Each structure stands twice: as C-alpha cells, then as structure tokens.
Amino acid sequence: MHPEAAHSRTLILRGGRVVDPTQNRDEVADVAIVDGKIDAIGRGLAENGKRAGARGAGSPEVIDCSGLVVSPGFIDVHCHLREPGREEVETIATGAAAAAAGGFTAVCAMPNTDPVTDNQAAVGFVVRQSQRAGMARVYPIGAISLGQKGEVLAEFGEMVGAGAVAVSDDGKPVASAHLMRTALEYARTFNIPVADHCEEPTLARGGVMNEGVMSMKLGLKGIPDEAEEVMAIRDMLLARLTGGHIHLCHMSTKGSVELIRWGKQQGINVTAEVCPHHLSLTEDAVGNYDTHAKMNPPLRTAEDVEALRAAVKDGTIDVIATDHAPHHYDEKEREFADAPNGIVGLETALGVNITWLVKPGIIDLRTLIERMSCAPARVFHLPAGSLATGKPADVTVFDPAAEWKVDASKFRTKGRNTPYSGVTLMGRAHYTIVDGSVVYRKAH
Amino acid sequence: MTPPLGKDLLALEPLSADQIQLILDTAEPFKEISERHIKKVPTLRGATIVNLFFEASTRTRISFEFAEKRLSADTVNVASTGSSVSKGETLVDTARNLEAMRIDMVVIRHGASGAPAFLANRIESNVINAGDGTHEHPTQGLLDLLTLRDHYKKLKGLKVCIVGDVLHSRVARSNIWGLQKMGAEVAVCGPRSLLPSAIDDFGVRVFNRIDEAIQWADALNVLRLQLERMQLGYIPSLREYNRVFGVSRERLERAKREVLILHPGPMNRGVEIDSDVADGPFSVILDQVTNGVAIRMAVLYLLSGGKPELAEKAKGEA
C-alpha cells in the first residue's frame, strides 16, 4: 500500500449537474474530492473510485447527487453572528451551523460585537471559535475604527495577520469623509476591501422605514433613498481619490444602482452587494407595523426592487449577501419604532433567491452561483468560490426545484426573526461540504 | 353579528364612508345626554374600560372618561409618562396583564405609531386609539367632521385646509382620510419642512402661502406647532412661523367669505393662531370639545355591540 493512501480521504459527488462559472462548466458529472481539495470532475469517477477502492486504495464515500446541482460553495460576505457579547441571540457555532444549513460554506462576520472586533486578539477569537464549531468557515471582518466610534483607525495590519479579510464599521456609517479616505488608503497596503454601511446619519436620524407613501400613512419616520445614495457616491469618489477598494454593503435603492453603474464605468474600484430581502420584498411588508419587516436599510418600493434585480442580472451588483441579523424573539415583539433592525437570512437566502430571481427567469442558475459564490470569493479575496482542480473542496449541493415552507422554529440560528415565516420557497441545500467534509446533510 | 365597526377603532384610513357616517349619525342622539341635568344613562353598565395613557393628555383623556361615565361604564385610568421601554415593562406584558383582568375595552394613547394596533392584535378586548405617535387620532378626526357637519350641514364638497405641522401630526392624518372619504376637498398649508415629502401622492392640494389657503377654504383646521420642532431644526423660529403661517384676524378679514376655524388644542396663542381668531366669531374650537364627548360615546357604544338604530333608545328617557 502507498504510504499516503491510508490517510487519504476521498469523497465523490456522483451524477449531479455541476455548475461552475469560473470554468464555464454546466454538465452532469461526478466531482472527486481528495484530502479536502477538488481532485477531478468528469464522468465515471464514482465507478473508477470504487475500482480503486477494490484494489485497496481506500473506499471512497459516494454521495448520489442525481437531480441536484453541484456548485462551488456559497459565501456570505455579510452576517452578524453576535459573539462575543450577545451569545443568547447567536453564537459563532449556531451561526456557522445555520450557514451550513443554508448551503453556505463560508461567511464573513461583521465586527459590531461587544466588545467590538477591532484588534488582532478579537479577530483571533472569531477564528478560533469558527474552528471549534467546524461548520461553515467564518472569516472575521475587522472594524475600521476603534470601537466603531468613527474616530481612530483600527490596526488593519495586525487584524489581517490574525485572519481578518476586510474592514467595516457596519451597523454604523463612517460619518467622517476623512476617516473613510484614510481607511481606503491604508487598506491598500493589505489588499483588503473597505465595506461601508452607506447611511448619511443626520439624514437618516430617527428613521425606521422607507420614506414615502407608507411612512406617511403609518406615521413612522422615514429614511430617504438619498441617505444611502449620498454616502454611496461619497465613498466612490473617495475610492477614486485613493485607489482603494470600496465595497458598498446592502444597497437598497434604484439611485444607488445608477451611481454604482456610473462608478464602474469610471473605472473606480467599487463592488457592491444586495440582500435577498431587498430583492423580494417592498415597504408594503411593513403593513400593520410588522417588526419582521424592519431592517436597515429599509425595504423600499417595487421600482427599487426591480432596479436591484436588473443590477444583479447585469453584474452592476456583484454579490448577494444576507445581512443575517438575529435578534431575541421578544426584542421584535414591541412597538415598531423601538424594535431592532434586521432579520435572519442564512437559511432562507438560497430559497428566496431562487424563488424571486431564478424561477421568474430574471437570472439563471449560473448567474445565481456567480453572485453567491464566485463573486464573493473574488471580491473578498477568499480561497474557494471555484471547483477548479486543487481548489479547497467547499461545495454546495442543492435542489433548485425543492419546494419547502419556512418554519422558523426549525432554524439552526437562534434567531426567529424572519418575514418569510409560512412562505413556500423553492430551492434548498442538500449537502454542504467544507474542506472535503460534509458539514450539513438535509434530513430526509 | 359582526359589530358595524369591527373589534377596534384604530384609524380612519381603513374605514369606509358608510362607517364614518354611522359614527357621526350615532353621535347625534348622544349629544343631548351631556345637556341633561343628570348626565348619565345605563347603556354600558357593567362594562370595564381601561384608559391607558402613555403620553400626557388632558383634553382627550377627560373627554373619554366623561363619555365612559355618562354611559355608566366602570373605568380605570392608567397614566404612565415615557415610553414602555423606559418604564421597564413592555407593551406586550401590559397587554397580557390587562387581558388577564378580563376587561372589555382599552382606550390607548401612546407615543409610538402603531402601538394601539400592536395591542389590538394581542388582546380580545376592543381597542380604541386615542392618539398614537404621528399616525392617527381617529376620534379627533371624527369630532372635527361632526363639528364641520354641524355648521355646514354637509361634508361633501366642503373645502378644508389643514394648517401647520402635517408631518408630525396624527390629527392631520385622521382629518385627511376622514374628510376625503366623506367627499370633502382637502388642502394642507405649512412650511415644506413640516409637510411629508410624499404629500403630493395623497390627493391633497398644497398651499405654500397661508393667504392663498384662506382665500380657498371654507374651514381651516389649525394644528398645534410643537415647540420642539424649532430645536430640531425644522423651522428657524416661532416668530417667523407666526409671521408666515400664523392665522390672524387681518388675514381672515381679507377672505371673501367667512372661514370656520378649528383647532385640536392645546393652542399656542400667538404662534399658529392669534387670540382674536381663537376667541373670534368663526371659531368652533369649543364646539369641537363638546362634540368630542358625543363622538366618543358613539364609538364606545358601537364597539360594544350596540345597534346603531337603537342609539336613540339606548340613551334612555330624559
């Protein structure tokens, strides 16, 4: 026996529709994974593997993927895992398990924890907790400013050394243009994106939903589109000035889409993300003061949703990210203005995206996979996002046609705050494979 | 049989013209009770009503309490300033406690828009909105309609201009919906910084100048200008507000015809309204207060399941 063979782990995904935009591949094939790396894609690998097993090369595990899509693993570049500080709401372990159940092989955790993830020790803590959990990979995002106070730059270099993949003061906008300029310049040294939550704070102050007809009817203070757009254009201009990479978080308005399109035409180093809820719901979901429709940025109008969908289709928006934001159930059980912003999204993202984007024919599966896997990996310089030989074996196997009804009580996340409760979605992860190991297997 | 208004009165926006008409018509026979020597009828005897006021209120609270007492209900007043958050107990806990005490109706005033709807979704008792945040104040809207109808004998085609801080006003919203449903023409007049940016989508005329509004209108409903609007930077000063938007006798005298003056109170004399207008011949501000009791009696009666056609009888012998 070959000395290494005893230790080699082989997993074969048999007969799925393998869709990998990075290789321009869309065909029914087997995927062979050896020792946590993509080894080969082709026909008959399962049978060859069995023969090899019979020769004593170690028997591979074979997963039947017929009727399923085999895709590079989904990556969520924007989620809130609440640990440290709010472990009763979510932990890195429960968040990573929820991610795996949603088909995500990696997520990026925002630094608005308590204490704030603004130094190398805090970044290291996230990395360690992620390794302990052993579910989806969790990449830390470090804070832009110490304590997210918007005053003093955090130590980007040390945080990157400890495992941070980007910096952001998400949850809080970077109000100071000078600080944003400096962050964009300084981040260039470490080749990381600066992710901004675009919200002009004086314009958005006190706002709890989209400003417009609904906010007037409900008597709730609105947040105008311009609160986002003013900051989006400022950030792009500062990226032009500095040559830094600005990543615009959770874009929600038609105007932002037009500005990003302009920025890209100008050659500005800008990337942008949109959330599944902004692609599927409008301000009408606030209805009778439903706090599960309260998020920041707020749900906008049908016109905005349409523009955002078109931007996902044409690539103006690079990435779909969840902004997964778990809250304790009773935090949402209160007056609309007092309820916290945000919804959980890791376990519904795939279904929402297929139901509202793929099913109506706005984008195809290849584009969906590009926006949920390949682009996030590219934008945040992460190792996976491709099934090319030698790549880390982070793979999502999903059924794009599976219909299922959302039951929040069955979620892996501790959060139950979703506007999709009881909604029938199409598309669900069956296997989530990280580093060659199956970390999630849908119960049958 | 489902009561004609449903379980709750949360807003005028979801009501039909028929339902509004019904409340106004039901209020008519109840007006007379307050004119009696003994102002009490047994209509709601045995009913328990909690007046839950999370925001300071004198006029509305007293008006509701008189309406309840004149209908012989048992009432309890709970006054709590500040939001439920600062108080410690959540609104949902308050709701559960009330429900556990087997009450029949809750009248709620709350600083957060939607708080009465929140409560109504969680308890079986009837909920009446006595003003929620910047959302609605339906009984105020109704008493304004009744006062206008008393004077003009109709609402259809009437031209009513709401003057002032429409953006933050629950009275303005209830008036816009109520008046439009009853066929009146509605305008607003105020500084653009105090009008909702979506105002043009609501089928109301917008006047930038108070003099134009006065020329157009049959009636002005003058809103209270909250003094903190100046501190928050919506307007530069109260002095200038009075100069530009204040309703003064000189301005009214330039009108071609009489213009009825309503104000939901409490008034800032010399800011949004001058004293000689408030106390002048075209002011129906105190009629509004009188009508408030009748409107609230009608709403309590109808929500408790009272039959509209029996309202005259329900009030008993004089």
Supply the pLDDT for residue B83. Answer: 45
Q: Is the pTM of this model over 0.90?
A: yes
* Higher-pLDDT residue of A122, B98: A122
Exposure on the CB side of residue A268, measured as CA atoms within 13 A: 27
Query: Which residues of chain B neighbour A222 with C-beta distances below 8 Å?
Result: 197
Locate the chain B residue with the closest alpha carbon to A219. Answer: B135
Supply the pLDDT for residue A55. Answer: 62
Locate the chain A residue with the closest alpha carbon to B233. Answer: A202
Question: d(Cα A333, Cα A342) in Å, to the nearest integer?
Answer: 13
Supply the pLDDT for residue A440. Answer: 98
Supply the pLDDT for residue A381. Answer: 98
ipTM value for the complex = 0.92
Helix residue ranges, H only, B32-160: 59-70, 84-87, 91-100, 115-120, 138-152
Class of domain B17-137+292-309: alpha beta
* Higher-pLDDT residue of A242, B92: A242
Q: Do A220 and B134 touch (CB under 8 A)?
A: yes
Give residue limits of the domains in chain B: 17-137+292-309, 138-288
Q: Where are the beta strands (DSSP E) in B254-317?
A: 260-262
Locate the chain A residue with the closest alpha carbon to B135. Answer: A219
Q: Do A334 and B91 touch (CB under 8 A)?
A: yes
Whether A323 is catalytic: yes
What CATH superfamily is the domain B138-288? Answer: Aspartate/ornithine carbamoyltransferase (3.40.50.1370)
Token digits of residue A31: 């995927």
Question: CB-CB: which of B83, B170, B197 is closest to A219?
Answer: B170
* Higher-pLDDT residue of A116, B256: A116
Question: CB-CB: which of A213, A330, A337 is closest to B112?
Answer: A337
Supply the pLDDT for residue B310. Answer: 74
Give the minimum alpha-carbon distance from A202 to chain B in angstroms, rounded to a whole number. 11
Question: d(Cα B34, Cα A38) in Å, to the nearest integer?
Answer: 86
Supply the pLDDT for residue A52. Answer: 67
Supply the pLDDT for residue B305. Answer: 85
Q: Do B110 and A215 touch (CB under 8 A)?
A: no
Predicted confidence (pLDDT) at residue A103 exceeds the cutoff of 90: yes
Token digits of residue B272: 């949004």
If chain B, 318 residues long, is cut into consecutive pieces of 10 residues, what is the mean pLDDT of each piece? Answer: 83 97 95 89 93 91 96 90 59 86 94 95 95 97 98 98 96 98 98 95 96 97 87 89 95 91 95 96 96 97 84 66
Query: Which residues of chain B neighbour A216 with C-beta distances below 8 Å?
Result: 173, 196, 198-199, 201-202
Predicted confidence (pLDDT) at residue A439 exceeds the cutoff of 50: yes
Q: What is the mean pLDDT of residues A245-264?
A: 98
Question: d(Cα B279, Cα A340) in Å, to the nearest integer?
Answer: 46
- Residue A402 has phi, psi (to 5 degrees) of -65, 130
Task: Indicate which residue of A30, A225, A304, A323 is catalytic.
Answer: A323
Predicted confidence (pLDDT) at residue A165 exceeds the cutoff of 80: yes
Supply the pLDDT for residue B306. Answer: 78
Give residue limits of the domains in chain A: 74-379
> Amino acid identity, residue A254?
K
Q: What is the mean pLDDT of residues A330-335?
A: 92
Predicted confidence (pLDDT) at residue A6 exceeds the cutoff of 90: no
Query: Which residues of chain A neighbour B13 with C-beta distances below 8 Å?
Result: 217
DSSP letter at A206 equals: T
The owner of tokens 């099934």 is A387
Strand partners, A38: A33
Q: Do A288 and B112 touch (CB under 8 A)?
A: no
Query: Which residues of chain A neighbour B112 with C-beta distances below 8 Å?
Result: 335-338
- Residue A364 has phi, psi (to 5 degrees) of -95, 175
The pLDDT mean for chain A works out to 95
Q: How confident is the model at residue A343 (pLDDT cuts 50, 70, 90)?
A: very high
Q: What is the mean pLDDT of residues A221-228?
A: 98
Query: Which residues of chain B neighbour A202 with C-beta distances below 8 Å?
Result: none
Locate the chain A residue with the closest alpha carbon to B171. Answer: A219
A74-379 adopts what CATH topology? TIM Barrel (3.20.20)
Q: Do A289 and B113 touch (CB under 8 A)?
A: yes
Give the minimum alpha-carbon distance from A174 to chain B in angstroms, rounded to a whole number. 23
Predicted confidence (pLDDT) at residue A322 exceeds the cutoff of 70: yes
Token digits of residue B313: 């009888």
Supply the pLDDT for residue B317. Answer: 54
